[in-house]
Structure 1
Amino acid sequence: MMFSDLVEGTLLRRYKRFLADVELSDGVTLTAHCPNTGAMTGCAEPGSRVWLSVSDSRTRKYPHTWELVETSQGMACIHSAKANAVVREAFEAGIISGFEAYPDIRREVKYGEGSRIDLLLEGDVGRAFIEVKSVTLCREGGLGVFPDAVSERGRKHLGELARIAAQKDTRAVLFFCVLHAGIDHVSVAGDIDRRYREAMVEAQAAGVEILAWRSRVDPAGLTLEAPLTFSPDPP
């Protein structure tokens, strides 16, 4: 997934969850949209270098969108919705092995109890439901953890996947797309959301597959590049 002409600046502050004030290199200060609902721990430090995309839509109040940040542990993409596009491109390109028998890909398909699956892969052998989560919370030793805040929605998705996994000719996959260059291993942040950790263990026991892949992150674009190890608890 490629970026186009990102604007570089310095983060002044993130506030009201969806807003960020940024100072550009020419001294101009502007307010950008922050497309991330999480705590963004370690990714929203004032003084950090950031990169913004610019929309040409005349209806947007804030034409700039915060995309990337340079943290003390490496570059990260804070635009969590980008994870879906990165993972989809990787499946379409055949980068992720084990899914060659599912050539057809759809996105945002309704399933379960009012949920939408991020990606639905289909083929003669059946279906694979792929729920994508972006990971940017990086702790010491290259440990990436999810979630970075209590996530009732995340627990609901795990329950939906567990029920799907019980169906015939159906695979249920939770895909952690790591959008932080400093992360080498992924675990659940049980200290942040104990119930999510419990739901994860139950989902795995029910047959939900867990995949974690790191993306290359730079101002040119995002590319899924390597699988990482996962464990419910930190190693």
Structure 2
Amino acid sequence: MEFSKPLVKGKLIKRYKRFFTDIKIDNQIVTAHCPNTGSMYGLLDEGNEVYLLPNNDPKRKLKYGLEIIKTRKNLVGVNTHIANKITHHALKNNLIKELKGSDLIKPEVFFNKETRFDFLIEKNKQKSFLEVKNVTLFRDKKTAEFPDAVTERGSKHLLTLIDAIKKGFKAYLLFLVQIQNMEEFKIAKDIDINYYNNYLLAKKAGVNFLAYRCNISSKKIYIDKKLKIIDV
């Protein structure tokens, strides 16, 4: 997935009220939209290098959107809204080997009245649901983790994927690691033990868990490597 415009480099001052970040660009301070409502654990140190996407839409009050943060020598894609775009690009271009050659790729499909999964995929008349989780947390040099805060919604998705299997669908959950240089992935059970327990239930029930790392630059982000998932 390519960015629509060249990104602008700056330095992070602070993030506040979830949706706002103050950024220093040269000698000017601008307020940029933060397209990530999560905790962004470990990413928000003052002075971190950031990359912003400019916009010229007169209807939008903020003229920049935060896309990438550089922390501990790694670029991290923080825009949760583009996670599905990155995944859709990967599905169409067969970058996820477990889901290659799909006959149908349909985004945002309701499974029931309460839950909508990110993708419905069909291959050889077998229908599968795919849910995508954006991963931005790392606490050592090589291991990405999810979640970065307690997520009741995430647990609900796991239990609903189990229900989908019972109704004849295949079920996949993709941990989309938007962090450079990661080599493995694990569930952050110290952050949300309930999510970890539901992950184990879902795995036992037949949910297929995948972790793929992105190649990240100021020009584009795309899936490039499968990561080993560690159960600890």
| 1:173-188 paired onto structure 2 within 5 Å | 173-188=172-187
Equivalences for 1:6-21 in 2 at 5 Å? 6-21=7-22
Task: Kindly report structure 1 stretches of 4+ aligned residues shifted beyond 6 Å.
Answer: none
After superposition, the C-alpha distances for 1:147-169 in whole angstroms (9 at most, x for unaligned) are 0000011011101111112232x
Asked whether 1:216 is paired with 2:215, we answer yes
Separation in 2, partners of 1:101, 1:9: 40
In structure 2, how many angstroms separate the alpha carbons of the residues matched to 1:184 and 1:228? Answer: 6
Q: Aligned AA for 1:171?
A: K
Alignment identity in percent? Answer: 33
Number of positions where the alignment pairs a residue of Structure 1 with one of Structure 2: 231
Q: Is the 8 A contact 2:103 2:124 kept in 1?
A: no
Deviation at 1:101, TM superposition (A): 5.0
Aligned counterparts of 1:224 and 1:2: Cα–Cα separation in 2: 12
Q: CA RMSD in A?
A: 1.3
Match of 1:197 in 2: 196
Question: Shift in Å at residue 44 of structure 1?
Answer: 1.3
Give 5+ residue unaligned stretches, structure 1. none
CA drift of 1:139 comes to: 1.3
Shift of 1:115: 1.2
Query: Structure 1, residues 35-85: CA drift from partner, whole Å, max 9, x if none?
Result: 111111221111011010122221112121100011114111111222211
Write out per-residue CA displacement over residues 95-147 of structure 1, whole angstroms, 9 at most, x where no aligned residue.
Answer: 22232452211111111341111111123321111100111101114111100
Q: Aligned with 1:219: secondary structure?
A: coil
Mapping 1:25-174, distance limit 5 Å: 25=26, 27-168=27-168, 170-174=169-173
Q: 2:51, 2:67 within 8 Å by CA — same for their partners in 1? A: yes
Q: Is the 8 A contact 1:177 1:212 kept in 2?
A: yes
Matched residue type, 2:179: H
Report the AA paired with residue 189 of structure 1: A
Q: What is the distance in 2 between the residues matched to 1:209 and 1:129?
A: 10
TM (norm. structure 1) is: 0.94
Q: Is the 8 Å Cα contact of residues 94 and 101 (structure 2) preserved in structure 1?
A: no
Counterparts of 1:96 and 1:185, CA distance in 2:
16
Q: What is the one-letter code of the residue matched to 1:213?
A: Y
CA contact (8 A) 2:10 2:24 kept: yes
Could you tell me the TM-score, scaled by structure 2's length? Answer: 0.95
Q: Decide which moves more: 153-162 or 49-58.
A: 49-58
Distance of 2:101 and 2:182 partners within structure 1 = 30
User: Unpaired segments of 5 or more residues in structure 2?
Assistant: none
Q: Deviations over 1:206-226 (max 9, x none)?
A: 110000000001101101001
Contact 1:10-1:23 at 8 Å conserved across structures:
yes
The alpha-carbon deviation at position 184 of structure 1 amounts to 1.5
Determine if contact 1:102/1:128 at 8 Å carries over to the other structure: no
The letter of the residue matching 1:103 is D
